[in-house]
Structure 1
Amino acid sequence: MAREGFLVPVETQASLKKKTAVSTSWVFLDNSGESTILDVDKYAIMRRVQIHARDLRILDPLLSYPSTILGREKVIVLNLEHIKAIVTAEEVLVRDPFDDNVIPIVEELQRRLPLANSICHGQGEEEEHPSTESGEENEFPFEFRALEVVLEAICSFLDARTRELETDVYPALDELTSKISSRNLDRVRKLKSAMTRLTNRVQKVRDELEQLLDDDEDMADLYLSRKLSGTSSPANGFDAPNWFINSPTTGSKISKTSRASAATTQEEDDIDELEMLLEAYFMQIDGTMHKLTTMREYIDDTEDYINIQLDNHRNQLIQVLSLRNK
């Protein structure tokens, strides 16, 4: 008698993914500053912002990727210290929003992402028609506003850590100079190790900004709004001059030339706008790097002084011993 068989359902690849995927807390902020906190897995993030898995892995804190500002077709991937974020032309996604270092950044994004004229809407005739200056601010692309908040937060964070280290290092070095002891030497050794680690962190952010500033194509990749608008750019709406209307061929050539020239000029203006933003924070992080370099030089000078003092004491001791032996 044949044994009856049992059909065992085979798990699909999708179901396996759901079982193995780990949920992570993310906060979603739109251009009105409204935030939503969700626990989602990486596949939900990939579907929402259309990002590749290799780019999403950059934001995994367990993989220790270096500081990165990466422009893709529809997103900007930001991995800067404790900030792991994805910026699109319409929203910002920040990982681990309950982290103590991330909470102030989320609050700042909520405050600065909304447009000024949308906040003032309906509060009077004058406010419905903002001034030219505020209008120019409102034209600043959403992704640039988000990028500015992140860069400002990171540069300020690293500068604050540097100033805290300065308040400990310089008194410790002065104390070591006045009294050479094991306790003071050990204290300076620990501070020097902390300074080396902080210098490496600052150097990574500085190098990323410098590399970005050196490549116009990389900067252009960060302009998500322009890529999203595509052919609807104002530069494409240029018409041929009136005096060439009677000549369709000539008018067509002039129109194409005008559009190409206008598009090129607009792209250069966009890059210049972003370049000024990046340069401002590059100068700030470079100033922080200069503080750390000065601190290291002071430590090196102190070490040289201590070595000279120790050599002098050793020579004196040798002379005393040699005199006694005589």
Structure 2
Amino acid sequence: MAIEGFIVPAEEQVAVKKKTLVCSTWVLFSRDGEKNLLDLDKYSILRRLRIHARDLRILDPLLSYPSTILGRERAIIVNLEHIKAIITAEEVLLRDPLDENVIPVVEELQRRLALPCAPFEGQGDEDEQGGAQNDPQFVEEHEFPFEFRVLEVMLEAICSYLDARTTELESDAYPALDELTSKISSRNLDRVRKLKSAMTRLTNRVQKVRDELEQFLDDDEDMADLYLSRKLSSSSPSSSCYAPNWYPASPAVGSKVSRTSRASSGISNHDENDVEELEMLLEVGILLSYVFCCRLR
């Protein structure tokens, strides 16, 4: 007996597939601070930024990945509590910009990126630097990289957020301890126990952020991988034209392309390992995390 049925036209199949794609809200910032609110599905993001699907999963709020910062060939994946972003050398995508905890980050990014970028003031003769800063070529070569300007805002935001959570717990903990001291009861003991558990959870969250920053600070090569602008400018034409074909394969292949392009462009080891800008940025975040941990003890 023949099975009765019908064939769904190809156009309708495509329409059904498009309807099943789940879109999320992102805000896109360009280098000059121009902002665009976008509804993107994961395939659009993967095609636009050439990152891996597993990197994008880290930014899924439903999966609850721990805080992490990942350096890729063409992007930095940032997952710090509620701050979930993809930073490239030219733009940054920030997820859930309408979330109440993310709105301050969006506002600060818009304000900072609209300002002219000042050159990084590292170690050296101040008189020589002062004279050289009048040279447009010097300013262009020594300006603070776009990806670090964005990362700086995000580190400041997460530190402010954790500081606020610590202050809230302190304001609840001290009265609870005073009340327990004056009157020992099951109700007061239960209240202090819950506050202690909340402090332990917050301490673990702060510790995870600090460990992630310290991991980069302990390895110059890891820090050098975050210099997206440097890698972009140092890539030779021959290596860059093949990079899109290599990149989707795996992060390991992407890193090989990066090392090959840097070697072929003749960059000195001194330039590759010059990570003073990023070191200063990470050290501030680590110092603040130590302060939070001390307050929670």
**Smaller-chain TM-score range?**
0.7 to 0.9
Partner of 1:39: 39
Does 2:60 match 1:56? no
Alignment partner, residue 324 of structure 1 = none
Unaligned runs of at least 5 residues, structure 2: 119-131, 237-264
Q: Residue 81 of structure 2 contacts residue 158 of structure 2 at CA under 8 Å; is this kept in 1? A: yes
Aligned residues: 253
Name the SS for the 1:113 alignment partner: helix
C-alpha deviation, 1:182, in angstroms: 2.2
TM-score (normalizing by structure 1): 0.70
With a CA cutoff of 8 Å and minimum separation of 6, indicate the structure with the bigger relative contact order.
2
SS of structure 1 residue aligned to 2:94: strand
Deviation at residue 215 of structure 1 after TM alignment:
1.9
Q: Quick check: 1:147 aligned with 2:156?
A: no
How many Å separate the matches in 1 of 2:7 and 2:28? 44
The percentage of aligned residue pairs carrying the same residue is 70
TM-score (norm 2): 0.77
Give the residue type in structure 1 aligned to 2:160: S
In 2: Cα distance, 1:178 partner to 1:137 partner: 64
**What is the deviation of 1:48?**
1.1
Distance 2:204 2:101 in 1: 19
**Any residues of structure 2 matched to 1:145-294 within 5 Å, and which?**
145-231=149-235, 263-269=268-274, 271-292=275-296, 294=297
Query: Shift of residue 263 of structure 1?
Result: 2.0
Distance in 1 separating the partners of 2:141 and 2:115: 9
User: For 1:164 and 1:137, how far apart are their aligned partners in 2?
Assistant: 44
Q: Is the 8 A contact 1:144 1:274 kept in 2?
A: yes
Contact 2:221 2:273 in 1 (8 A): no
Residues 117 and 172 (structure 1), Cα distance of their counterparts in 2 relative to 1, 3 Å cut: closer
**Using the alignment, how far apart are the partners of 1:203 and 1:229 within structure 2?**
35
8 A Cα contact 1:117 1:138, kept in partner: no
Q: Structure 1 pair 136/280, CA: closer, same or farther in 2 (3 Å)?
A: farther
Aligned equivalents of 1:146 and 1:190: distance in 2? 36
Mark the structure with the bigger radius of gyration.
1
Contact 1:25/1:97 (8 A) holds in 2: yes
Q: By percentage of residues, which structure has more helix? A: 1
C-alpha RMSD of matched pairs (Å): 2.9
2-structure distance, mates of 1:17, 1:71: 32
Q: Secondary structure at the match of 1:147?
A: helix
Shift of 1:174: 2.2
Partner AA of 2:177 in structure 1: L
Which one is further off, 275-284 or 174-183?
A: 174-183
